[in-house]
């Protein structure tokens, strides 16, 4: 298979979520060959992404590219979120139990990522089973924007601040100021959910890939790198 076709084959699998059988018919090669090519090319893409595309931006760069809506409301360095996706039901009973999400009522995988306010993905973790909790340790002294599931205040070193939406549980209602702040926070962090979902392989992630941890890691790193090649996600002016 020509190198150009190998690249196209891999991108079609990631972007369109095509099955191996479908790709094998389109390119006139065996399913085993498609699987082998995909594993190799994703590995190479991931190596390139780790070196050149997915990295922690210097604070000066983050400040220089900070959208106005962030600058007005938060002194944010990054947004952290768990990207939860459906996966095929694993055949292995233990793996099926580890990946079952009570909240989603489905087998899921979670990937923790940190994204700059401009939309640049700076970090992505290895995939975890859907039962894993949303806890993330920040190492540099700065402010982080997160969803309310990140109850990590006790984990943060001195000087680090985490901004969370207000909780209404156990209270009759939130105050007006808390409600406005929570809405702004939700609008600012919603782009975390949008960045990687255009890659349809994540719509129903194959259990066969999730079972192979190095391959699964490479898939997410490669997708993060491809996302970072796209135009800026957040406009300088945004409605908050």
Kindly state whether residues 74 and 116 are assigned to the same domain: yes
Residue 151's Cβ-side half-sphere holds a number of Cα atoms within 13 Å equal to 4
pTM of the entire structure? 0.78
| Helical (H) or strand (E) element with 98 | helix 93-99
**Residue 99 three-state SS:** helix
Radius of gyration of the chain (CA): 19
Mean pLDDT of 73-89: 79
Query: Which tens digits make up the pLDDT trace of 117-127?
Result: 788 899 888 88
pLDDT at 145: 47
Inter-CA distances, 76 with 53, 63, 115, 194, Å? 21, 9, 11, 19
| Residue predicted with more confidence, 232 or 200 | 200
Kindly state whether residues 108 and 61 are assigned to the same domain: yes
pLDDT at 51 over 80: yes
The total number of structural domains that make up the chain? 2
Kindly state whether residues 81 and 38 are assigned to the same domain: no
pLDDT at 63: 85
The number of residues making up the chain comes to 240
| Residue 78 confidence class, pLDDT cut points 50, 70, 90 | confident
Residue 238, domain member (yes or no): no
Residue 237, domain member (yes or no): no
Instruction: Return the number of other C-beta atoms located less than 10 Å from residue 140's C-beta.
Output: 12
Instruction: Output phi, psi for 141, to 5 deg.
Output: -75, 105
Query: Which tens digits make up the pLDDT trace of 173-207?
Result: 656 555 555 665 566 566 656 778 889 999 999 98
Kindly state whether residues 97 and 34 are assigned to the same domain: no
pLDDT at 173: 60
Residue 163, domain member (yes or no): yes
Query: Which tens digits make up the pLDDT trace of 133-175?
Result: 665 333 333 444 455 455 555 555 555 555 555 444 455 565 6
Identify the domain containing residue 134 by its residue range.
55-228
CB 124 within 8 A of CB 112: yes
């Amino acid at each position: 298979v020509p190198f150009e076709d190998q690249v196209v084959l891999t991108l079609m699998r990631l972007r369109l979520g095509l099955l191996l059988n479908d790709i094998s018919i389109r390119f006139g090669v065996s399913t085993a060959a498609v699987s082998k090519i995909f594993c190799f090319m994703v590995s190479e893409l991931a190596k390139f992404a780790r070196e050149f595309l997915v990295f922690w931006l210097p604070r000066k760069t983050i400040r220089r590219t900070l959208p106005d809506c962030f600058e007005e409301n938060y002194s944010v360095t990054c947004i952290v979120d768990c990207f939860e996706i459906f996966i095929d039901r694993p055949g292995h009973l233990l793996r099926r139990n580890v990946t079952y999400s009570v909240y989603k009522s489905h087998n899921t995988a979670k990937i923790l990522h940190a994204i700059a306010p401009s939309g640049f993905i700076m970090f992505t973790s290895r995939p975890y089973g859907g039962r894993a909790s949303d806890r993330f340790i920040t190492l540099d002294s700065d402010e982080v924007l997160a969803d309310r599931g990140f109850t990590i205040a006790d984990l943060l070193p001195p000087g680090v601040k985490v901004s969370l939406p207000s909780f209404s549980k156990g209270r009759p209602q939130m105050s007006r100021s808390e409600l406005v702040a929570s809405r702004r926070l939700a609008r600012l962090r919603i782009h975390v959910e949008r960045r990687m979902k255009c890659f349809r392989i994540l719509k129903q992630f194959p259990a066969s890939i999730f079972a192979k941890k190095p391959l699964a890691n490479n898939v997410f790193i490669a997708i993060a790198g491809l996302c970072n090649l796209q135009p800026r996600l957040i406009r300088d002016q945004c409605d908050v």
